[in-house]
Structure formats: structure tokens, C-alpha cells
Structure 1
Amino acid sequence: MQLKTTILNPIHREMKAKMVDFGGWDMPLHYGSQLDEHHRVRNDAGMFDVSHMLTVELKGESARPFLRRLVANNVDKLVQPGKALYTCMLNPQGGVIDDLIIYFLTESHFRMVVNAGTADKDLAWMQARRDEIDPKLEIVSRRDLAMIAVQGPHARAKVWQVIPGARGETENLKPFQAAIWGEYFIARTGYTGEDGFEITLPSQHAVDFWRALHTAGVTPAGLGARDTLRLEAGMNLYGQDMDESTSPLESGLGWTVDLKSDRDFIGKAALLEHPVTRQLIGLVLTERGILRSHQKVVTSHGEGEITSGGFSPTLIQSIALARLPLEASAGDEVQVVVRDKALQAKTVKYPFVRNGKSLI
């Protein structure tokens, strides 16, 4: 099968990236040292090609009513242009079709960013739901755009070094806000637990922008560092920490679900009818070894399973997210079965790391 490529694919190869198949996309795993890329993001600034993710525009008078029905979080929170909302799109059984970000631009124009691996499924789902409400609502797929995430304590300063004219529009952005500067859509969002921007721009400008960021001292970083950074930050990965068979309420995403208002949304009835019995909680391994997804976790309240796990370069120990019985609480001693051997671990509240500092 021919792998899909982003507009930056040639420059990744020029920079000697190790390329891998990531959900059908040819993407950089690292550019030599995954550990170095991780630490550069935590201590300085790194950049990721996230152009495989899909930007979707919703245009029409029924955009807000459509989103009220489509997603679990309440889009009525979005009243200021550029404001962003993290949410999940659920199936009627309350399972997670995808997690995504919605930006409010105008009352008749919202922007969504969905995951690469679920993009086709998401579009088909949205189009079917659109036809039930308002067939005239436009759902526009924007594969003409690229997206580059610049993350780290010095990320914003280095972006302003490259596009100084954007500073005035973006310096006072709060987290989960975006601003438009020319052809750049600059959002103060990210997937690393560090400050920074996710910048959407026309594909034809992406290579020059990437090169300029590199000249300004921003380190290219691949999927490997992106995964260890997001795990330390306690951020879910679709397909591992949640999917269509799991509720957001048992995936640490209860804060993204609005069950208080009268608004009905797809999956709400199922969430109300089926109380959760499991929760997502953090694990820290207290012995030598590496925690991985699908390893069994034995607790005094019953068994569970690791959803995401790995070595934390910041904490220099193995950490994980695990779906455990609801009775488990931070500080519990548990056992993780690794290659038929039971290793000791401790449950903790996550995130593990935020803004370069350990939180455990």
C-alpha cells in the first residue's frame, strides 16, 4: 500500500529522519536521538510535523446547533473568536469515535482538527449527522493546509523570531485560544505538556517555515518524542487510551463531557444509563522494567490493564496510564504482569510532568 505523505516529507528525509508507517502515513520517528528531542522540547523548543491531522471547516447558520448535537462538550462555551474547545465525538453507545479540538471563528464558521487515523471515519460520520439536521451545512476538508507544532519553554519566542509580525496578535493569547495573522492560524495548544503554538498554514509555505524555525534553533522532533512527552503530560492517545468501545468517563475525560445542561448529544443517554466501573489512573513502576500497553494490572480491587506505557526520560523511570477498577486510588500498591513476572508499581494522579517539572 502506498503510504500517504505530508508536504514536509522530503525535508524529513533531507534531515535524515527515521521514517515509519504511522496509520498509513510516512512519518518521522526521530532524527537521530529520540531522547535528545524529548529533552529539547522540555528545556528549549522542538517542532513536530502534524500535517497528517485534518482540518475541517464547518460553515453555515446551523453550525452551532449541529455541534451541540455532535460532541460531548458544550460548544456554547465558545463565544470569543479564536477560543478552542477539546471534546469527544461519541457513538450512540457512548464510545469515543474521536477526540478533537473545535475553534470558534464566527457564528457561522467553526474549525475542527481531527486525528489522522480517524479522519475518513470522522468525515463520514459528520456528513451523515449533518444530513439529518441541515444538508446545506458545509463540511469542508482542508488537505491544502499544513500544521506544525512548536513546543517548549522557548517555543513562542522562537516563533516570533521567525514571524515577528505575528507577535502582536499572539503574545496575549491564553491557552486554548487562537489568532489569525495573515495566512497563519496560530493556536496556543499542544500535545506535550509544554507551552507553545500549533500553527496551521498553506501547504506551499510549510517547507520555508520549517527551515526558518530550524535556523532559529528549533529542534525537529518525531513521533517517538511526541509519544513520551504526551504520556508524561497524561494526554490520551486515540486507539490506545480510548476508542469506540470505551466511554470518555472511564478514560479520564469526564471533564470534557457536559452532562449538566439540558442539551442532548449523541451518546448522552448511554453515558447516563451505564455508570462507569473503571477509571484511568497513572502508574509508576517501582522496580526495573518497562511498562507497555495491554499489560495486566492486579489490584486489591480487581484486575485492570495498561493503555499507554513507556520510559519517562524526564522522571528516568517507567510510567503508564491504566484502566483500573473505580475503587483504586492514588497511592495504591499494585502489580503489573511483565513477561509472566509480577512487578511492583504504585498508582498516582497524572499528569506526571507539566512545564518541565515532575508532579509526582
Structure 2
Amino acid sequence: MANKTPLYQAHLDANARVVDFGGWDMPLNYGSQIDEHHAVRQDAGMFDVSHMTVVEVTGAEAKQYLQYLLANDVAKLTVAGKALYSGMLNENGGVIDDLIAYYLTDTHYRVVVNASTRDKDLAWMENVAQQFNVSVEEKTDVAMIAVQGPNAIEKANSIMSAEQQAAVAEIKPFVAVQAASWFVARTGYTGEDGYEIMVPDEAGIGVWNQLAAAGVKPAGLAARDTLRLEAGMNLYGHDMDENVSPLAANMGWTIAWEPETRDFVGRKALLAQKELIATKSAEAPHKMIGLILEDKGVMREGQEVVVDDKVVGVITSGTMSPTVGKSIAMARVKRDLNQESVLVQVRKKQLNAKVVKPSFVRKGEVLV
């Protein structure tokens, strides 16, 4: 039987089409996923992200533990609420998961990982924790709502108390604050501004309904996927996994190489990969590119990328972009590929696609 979030009844009340997603009953859409997509790009939409796994990392060695566990360096975080995005890697440099870590104090961090990888993530985090004076505990008493879009902050603020409004008044991107019983983070997965808000689980439906009354449109998994792909954001299990290096998943910027004295899980493997890249070895990790289809059709995961009758890569995520008006995709290809256009094998046809940076839309602006 699938898990249900604290907001499940609200989805049923709104006639959502509910599907199984990583063991959770989640809304795919509430009618038109295109309308939901455009609402986020043009106004404000909200997503139930309560299925995400929230982990409290506490203890005297919480900082040292996360410095070793993650490829990015939590030592960068010195202001309460500041967050960073990181890969959690295995010894071979593969991505066990991608996550956000929030600094609360030197002995308390909040980590949000993916729902579909919950069991293996918690097992891995517990395993590494054996080497440190640290506690790793899942937090299960919250509902989480992502409010996204150019008017998201204004509309979310409108339902807050005066105390909460004061708390979030100066909040900057990738920072969170405790606003009364709410934990409000200026983060998201859509390429738009907005909040991800954790509230006590019993308050979830009330907050959801207040947001809806304030003009925030409920949106489901389908819109969330087209939005994140337009923004060039990876989806775990598709654009990267345990067999894919962050260097092959457009995540090189999340690796903190300095200071050289900091060891982290996977560092040795990544250094070897960096050397292969520097020497232009044929064994070097692939790279991620963006594609825009110039012919009619839709690019999908698993389709081959072809140059001069040779397969040079594969699409990891593809869709029809409501904002761009064309099919877009991210593809993992050989690192020496430098063509401005390629062919994509769509069914029995090879269609023309333009090579671009793997980020298509940000804050409502088409970048390609």
C-alpha cells in the first residue's frame, strides 16, 4: 500500500489524478498540466513535496560528518539557515543522491533528500555516521509545500502572520528561516523564485487551502517535471545515479575541491576522473548537454544521440517544453563532442537537434 502525505485529502478534494511515485500516492495533475506549468512560470503554483525525506543531523561532529559525507563543503555555511546543494557519493564517485543541506547551528544541520531513494540514503548516512559522534534521525512530523513563480513570495506572504512576515522579510535565495512554527526556505525545483515551506503535519491542509484561496494554483508531478527540465535541473534516477559521476551530470560546480586537506567519500575517484578529462582520455567521463529539437517530434529518455552515423550519447530527460514551444532534452554524450547540432533517433527517424547549454528557462525567460 502506497504512503500518503498529510495533504492527500486536499488532492482528492481537488479531483487530482493520483499516481504512485516512489511508493507515494501523489497528484500527477489537477486537470491540465500545461495550465499548471504556465501558472508557475507566469504567476504562482504550489506542489506537495511532503514525500521528500527530511533528516536531522545533530551532534558534536555534525559538521565533520557532513564534510566527509558530501562532495560540497558545509564549512561554507556559517549563517543560520544558509543552504547548499550537493551530491552524496559512493567510493566510485557515483551519485547516491542529490540533496540540500541547511546549516542551523554548528551541531545541527537539516538535510532534505529524495523520496524514491529514502531507504538507501538513510542506510548510507547511518553507515558513514558510525565513524563520527553524530545522530542521524528522520523528521516525519512535517508537511512540505513548494510555492513557486514570479508572484509566489507575495502570495505566500499574504497568508502569514505579522511575525512570520517579519521573519521572512530579508530572506535571500538558498536561505531558510524559522518563522513561528514554519520553516521557510527560499529554494525550489522549477527555475522560478519562491519558497519551500515545512509546516507541522496537522497544519498542512489548512495552509494548502489558504494558499489556494490566495490565488496559488495547485500543480502536480507532471508540471514539476517539465518545469525542472526547462530549468536544467537533474532528476535522480534519470540524469544521474550511483553509476554516474557528478562530472558527467553537470554537477561539477557542486564539488568543493578546496581545501585539499578535506577528504570526502568519492574524492579519490573524482580526482582520477579529473585527470582523465585533463589528458583528454577516451576513458574520461561523458558530459551533459542540452538539446532543442528542430524537427517535429518529441525527445524522450533513452533515445540515442547520433553524429556521422555513430552513437555518441543518450538522452537522459526529454519533453515538449510549454515555455519554449519545442521539444527539449538533456543528454549525456562523449566529452569530445563539439558539434553545434546532432541527430536524435526518434522511433525510426533521425531528427535534427541543436546543441545548447543544459538550461533552457530561468525566471520566465527563455535562454535558448
TM-score by length of 1: 0.97
Matches within 5 A, 1:60-99: 60-99=59-98
User: Any conservation in 2 of the 1:190–1:197 contact (CA below 8 Å)?
Assistant: yes
Partner of 2:319: 310
Match of 2:139 in 1: 142
Deviations 1:217-269 (CA, angstroms, capped at 9, x unpaired)? 10000000000000000000000000000000110000001123221100010
How far 1:280 sits from its partner (Å)? 0.5
Q: 2:300 aligns with which of 286, 292, 299?
A: 292
Task: Report runs of 4+ in structure 1 exceeding 6 Å deviation.
Answer: none
Counterpart residue number, 2:218: 220
Matches within 5 A, 1:162-241: 162-165=159-162, 166-241=164-239
1:357 is aligned to: 365
Of 146, 149, 153, 1:152 maps to 149
Is 1:327 aligned to 2:336, yes or no? yes
Q: Following TM superposition, by how much is the alpha carbon of 1:126 offset from its aligned partner in structure 2, in angstroms?
A: 0.6
| 3-state SS of 1:258 partner | coil
Distance 1:101 1:74 in 2: 12
Q: 1:279 aligns with which of 271, 274, 287?
A: 287
**1:90–1:98 contact (8 Å) kept in structure 2:** yes
What is the SS of the residue equivalent to 1:133? coil
Contact 2:36 2:217 in 1 (8 A): yes
Matches of 1:22 and 1:234 in 2, distance apart? 21
Matched, 1:336 2:344: yes
CA contact (8 A) 2:149 2:192 kept: yes
Relative to the length of structure 2, the TM-score reads 0.95
Question: How far apart, in 2, do the equivalents of 1:240 and 1:40 lie?
Answer: 26
1:261 aligned residue: 259
Query: Does the 8 Å CA contact 2:245/2:285 hold for their aligned counterparts?
Result: no
Helix, strand or coil at the partner of 2:345: strand
Is 1:347 matched with 2:355? yes
User: What is the CA-CA distance between 1:171 and the residue it aligns to?
Assistant: 2.2
Q: Partners of 2:7 and 2:109 in 1: how far apart? A: 26
Instruction: Provide the rounded CA distance (Å) in 1 between the counterparts of 2:258 and 2:131.
Output: 25
Distance 1:98 1:309 in 2: 21
Paired residue type of 1:226: R
Distance 2:168 2:247 in 1: 34
Q: CA deviation at 1:332?
A: 1.2
Aligned equivalents of 2:218, 2:35: Cα separation in 1? 10
One-letter code aligned to 1:151: Q
CA distance in 1, matches of 2:186, 2:180: 17
Q: Distance in 2 between matches of 1:258 and 1:151?
A: 29
2: CA distance, partners of 1:281 / 1:351: 9
Mapped contact 1:7–1:203 kept (Cα < 8 A): yes
**Corresponding residue of 2:106:** 107
Q: Secondary structure at the match of 1:19?
A: strand
| 1:15 aligned partner, one-letter code | A
SS in 1 for 2:300: coil
Amino acid at match of 1:238: Y
CA contact (8 A) 1:302 1:325 kept: no
Instruction: Determine the C-alpha separation between the residues in 1 that align with 2:170 and 2:289.
Output: 34
Return the alpha-carbon distance in structure 1 between the equivalents of residues 47 and 127 of structure 2. Answer: 33
Task: Give the counterpart letter for 2:191 in structure 1.
Answer: G
TM superposition shift of 1:302: 5.2
CA distance in 1 between counterparts of 2:179 and 2:352 reads 51
Counterpart of 1:161? 158
The answer to whether the 8 Å contact 2:43/2:149 transfers is yes
Moved more, 98-107 or 254-263: 254-263
The amino acid that maps onto 1:100 is: L
Give the stretch that moved more between structures: 291-300 or 221-230.
291-300
User: What do residues 257-298 of structure 1 show as CA deviations (whole Å, max 9, x unaligned)?
Assistant: 112322110001011113333101100000000000010001
Query: Residue deviations 1:131-160, cap 9 Å, x none?
Result: 1223xx111101111100000000000111
Please report how far the alpha carbon of residue 24 of structure 1 lies from its aligned counterpart in structure 2 after TM superposition: 1.0
Q: Which residue in 1 is equivalent to 2:279? A: none
Q: 2:304–2:311: 8 Å Cα contact kept in structure 1?
A: no
Q: Which residue of 2 aligns with 1:50?
A: 49
Q: Deviations over 1:43-85 (max 9, x none)?
A: 0000000000011001111000000100000111000100001
**Which letter does structure 2 place at the counterpart of 1:222?**
G
- TM-superposed CA distance for 1:130, in Å, is 0.6
What is the one-letter code of the residue matched to 2:313?
Answer: G
Report deviation, 1:299. 2.7
The answer to whether the 8 Å contact 1:299/1:328 transfers is no
**Cα contact 2:288–2:358 (8 A) shared by 1:** no
- The alignment partner of 1:132 has SS state of coil
Deviation at 1:109, TM superposition (A): 0.5
1:349 alignment partner AA? K
Distance, in Å, in 2 between the alignment partners of 1:233 and 1:102 is 21
